[in-house]
A and B are shown apart, each in its own frame.
Chain A
Amino acid sequence: MLHRFANPTRFLRFADRIQPWAARFTVIFVIAGLYFALLNSPSDYQQGETVRIMYVHVPSAWMAIFCYTLLAISSGVALIWKHAIADLIARSTAPIGAGFTFLALITGSLWGKPMWGVWWVWDARLTSVLVLFFLYLGYLALQEAFDDRERGIRASAILALVGLINVPIIKFSVDWWNTLHQPASVIKISGPAIHSSMLIPLLLMALAFKGYYVWLLLIRIRGEINFMKVRALQLRQVHDDESAFRGQDQTMNNGVG
């Protein structure tokens, strides 16, 4: 199963089928999500209208963690099995995940100011998400840091795997340490502690973000596959030039002999 998709041509065929559906899915859920988030959901009895920030903030934060987990897993697969597409998934996920983490931080700040009275506090949840953002940036920087592409892949994959330790820290930071941030209210063993009128826009926006991720991921992977083909052609050209040169050398020697 894993190795079936290591073949770029097969992957592209699969992407061709999925991409139009990802696009439709995203558009539909963005429209439905925004409708419920902005127009058809109540304001919070404590937080007033600022609760609407939640419909951007929480899905962004979920995606930040989801993307990082996927980035680390596919990095591991690329590292161990030299799976070409797994590396491309990791590489293409990184900028999208960094974008979502940035959004989680910024919208969190914009929510924190009116509700907590501060833009930022150095508590466990906020700090661990900031670390997540730097892990994404570090991953992106490391990939480009080496002339040898393979070394870049290896170094960044190792960083991604080591950084995975941060994911449970983010998840449980609100339980382990004192924080201004509220604890989990949707993903709980006892079921979501949030009213359905707020849960609906939240889930719709979460699905919209998920669809957006798949759509953009496929676009980026296509680009990466194109560059992979360019590199293969370049290598072949170098190889051909060398053998052409050797051939020339041979005929010259023959001429002399």
Chain B
Amino acid sequence: METAANFFNMGGYAVFVWSSYGIAAVTLIGLFCHGLRFLQSSTAKLNAKRATRHRNPDSNNLEPDNEA
């Protein structure tokens, strides 16, 4: 228990040491989540774009018109 208290106390510099590690963790994890969200939104957008192309064949003019 004594050693755990010592550990968290960081020789009286707890505020500086732990806030350094805390800010680093928050920044790096936050940046990572931002990257994941960016990937997710881009994938969703690409899938939506592909879906509209398939649903809307006359926009690419390749399929023959099914006029009678």
Chain A residues engaging chain B, CB cutoff 8 angstroms: 38-39, 43, 48-50, 52-53, 56-57, 60, 95-96, 99, 102-103, 106-107, 110-111, 113-114, 212, 216, 219-220, 222-224, 226-227, 229-230, 233-234, 236-237, 240-241, 243-244, 247
Q: Which B residue sits closest to A30, measured CB to CB?
A: B28
CA–CA, A107 and B31, complex, Å: 17
Could you pull out 16 A-B pairs where Cβ atoms are within 8 angstroms?
A: A49-B11, A49-B12, A50-B16, A52-B10, A52-B17, A53-B20, A103-B24, A106-B20, A113-B16, A212-B28, A219-B36, A220-B35, A220-B39, A226-B39, A230-B49, A244-B61
Q: Mark B25-38, 1 if CB is under 8 A from A, else 0.
A: 00110011011101
CA–CA, A236 and B42, complex, Å: 18
Knowing A99-B28, A219-B35, the reply to whether A107 touches B20 (Cβ < 8 A) is yes
Are the C-beta atoms of A216 and B32 separated by less than 8 Å? yes
Residues of B1-60 contacting chain A, CB below 8 A: 7, 10-13, 16-17, 19-21, 23-24, 27-28, 31-32, 34-36, 38-39, 41-43, 45-46, 49-50, 53, 58-60
Q: Which A residue sits closest to B41, measured CB to CB?
A: A223
How many residues in B have their beta carbons less than 8 Å from beta carbons of A? 33
Are the C-beta atoms of B20 and A57 separated by less than 8 Å? yes
CA–CA, A220 and B7, complex, Å: 37
- Give the secondary structure class of A's interface: helix
**In the complex, chain B residues whose CB is within 8 Å of the CB of A244:** 58-59, 61
Are the C-beta atoms of A49 and B10 separated by less than 8 Å? yes
**In the complex, chain B residues whose CB is within 8 Å of the CB of A229:** 46, 49
Knowing A103-B24, A111-B16, A226-B43, the reply to whether A243 touches B11 (Cβ < 8 A) is no
**In the complex, chain A residues whose CB is within 8 Å of the CB of B7:** 38-39
**In the complex, chain B residues whose CB is within 8 Å of the CB of A48:** 11-13
Knowing A233-B50, A241-B59, the reply to whether A223 touches B13 (Cβ < 8 A) is no
**In the complex, chain B residues whose CB is within 8 Å of the CB of A49:** 10-13, 17
Candidates A53, A103, A219; contact of B27 at CB < 8 Å: A103
Q: Which B residue sits closest to A60, measured CB to CB?
A: B24
CA–CA, A182 and B56, complex, Å: 65
Are the C-beta atoms of A243 and B10 separated by less than 8 Å? no
**In the complex, chain B residues whose CB is within 8 Å of the CB of A113:** 16
**In the complex, chain B residues whose CB is within 8 Å of the CB of A99:** 27-28, 31
CA–CA, A222 and B35, complex, Å: 10
Min CB gap A198→B, angstroms: 15
Candidates A114, A219, A222, A230; contact of B16 at CB < 8 Å: A114
Knowing A60-B24, A95-B34, A226-B43, the reply to whether A234 touches B17 (Cβ < 8 A) is no
**In the complex, chain B residues whose CB is within 8 Å of the CB of A233:** 46, 49-50, 53
CA–CA, A10 and B64, complex, Å: 34
**In the complex, chain B residues whose CB is within 8 Å of the CB of A56:** 20-21, 24
Min CB gap B56→A, angstroms: 9
Q: Which B residue sits closest to A215, measured CB to CB?
A: B32
**In the complex, chain B residues whose CB is within 8 Å of the CB of A230:** 42, 45-46, 49
CA–CA, A114 and B21, complex, Å: 16
